Amino acid sequence: MQALSRITSAVIPIEMLRDDINKICGAFEIEPPYRCGPSHGLARKQKISGFDIALVSQDVAMAARTRTCIRRDPGEHFFMLIQDFGQCVVHQNGTSTMLAPGDMFIVDATQPSKFIYNGQLTHQVSIHLPRDEILGRFGTACDGGIAIDRDDPLWLAMRAVLVKMLRSSSEASGQLSEAFYGLMGAYFQERRSQVTDPRGQTIERALGLIARHYRDPEFGPGALALRLGVSLRSLQRYFEALGETPGQRLVQKRLSQAYADLSRDEGAEVSVVDCAYACGFNDLSHFYRAFRQRYGMTPGEVKSRSQTAGAIAQ
């Protein structure tokens, strides 16, 4: 996928990078890279189509918007975070979301959040969405943070408008910003309509059950279908709208949680085997193979990065 930004990384003192990010994005705690040596990064701000947009390149271990940060800088925005290069794990509102290039996540600046980079170079584009504007247009749809499903055609439409905003002249800025808001509204409306649709209700219930029971190794697609009161074949047809099977969604949830657990500060105290079992895997070879396939590194490599990470006060 073609990158949105052309920002470059240069050697920079971590204190300067921290100051730039705090000036552009608001108050954050920044944890330096685990390795010895200088940091690399750059942060700049642009005004595009009426939006303040931050372009951030960095190789820090993690960044956190703690309760202390929020008290110091309450935050009048939501941040639509677009992962442009590299990977990031977003922790907000009790959930962990893995962002790969192209993924979008709307961060609620009024709630604590943490962003795990593991010292790997990343590029991110952050669109600052005025809080009053979002609440007025969409109500509480973004409260607590929300991931934008990239399997939804509206994701592609939003990305296309974003590319236009980054490359177009100022004459089209008003129309493009309204188009962007319109696509966001259509996306949230579609999400709400799915809840009222019988199949949408079943999928919502299924995702909720997966979130509650994924740590149980005996909880599989068959058990999920039984709890929902539908046949396994019907459940598989429902999940076709998501572009995956119930089993694939369950495995991805377990992998995401394993990555998040191993990348936390306290992950150094948890063995890889214990983490795998705690996240619902009962076949270690499958766990190692699936983990490496998804993240491009072994669970042990992720764990080793967390062993040298300092704690960030909440």
25 and 116 inside one domain: yes
* Residue 264 placed within a domain: yes
pLDDT, position 267: 46
* Residue 266 placed within a domain: yes
pLDDT tens digits in sequence order for the chain, 314 residues long: 677 776 666 788 888 888 999 999 999 999 988 767 777 888 899 888 888 999 999 899 999 999 999 988 887 789 999 999 999 999 998 888 889 999 999 999 988 999 999 888 899 999 999 888 888 888 888 888 899 988 889 999 999 999 888 887 665 667 888 999 999 999 988 777 665 567 777 887 888 889 889 999 999 999 999 999 899 999 998 888 777 899 999 998 899 888 888 876 554 567 899 999 999 999 999 999 999 988 888 999 888 876 544 333 33
What separation in angstroms does the CA of 41 have from each of 10, 15, 122, 214? 6, 11, 9, 37
pLDDT, position 169: 63
Locate 80 and state its tokens: 């639509």
Locate 278 and state its tokens: 């705690």
pTM: 0.65
Tell me the CATH number at 97. 2.60.120.10
pLDDT, position 256: 84
Q: In which element (H, E) is residue 53 found? A: strand 51-58
- Based on its alpha-carbon atoms, the radius of gyration of the chain, rounded to whole angstroms, reads 20
Question: Domain range holding 258?
Answer: 198-307
pLDDT, position 295: 83
203 and 191 inside one domain: no
> Number of structural domains, the chain?
2
Cβ atoms 75, 26 nearer than 8 A: yes
Q: Which residues contact 81 (CB under 8 A, 6 or more apart)?
A: 88, 90, 99, 104, 105, 106, 107, 124, 125, 126
Last residue in a domain, options 161, 195, 229: 195
pLDDT, position 116: 93
164 and 282 inside one domain: no
* Residue 314 placed within a domain: no
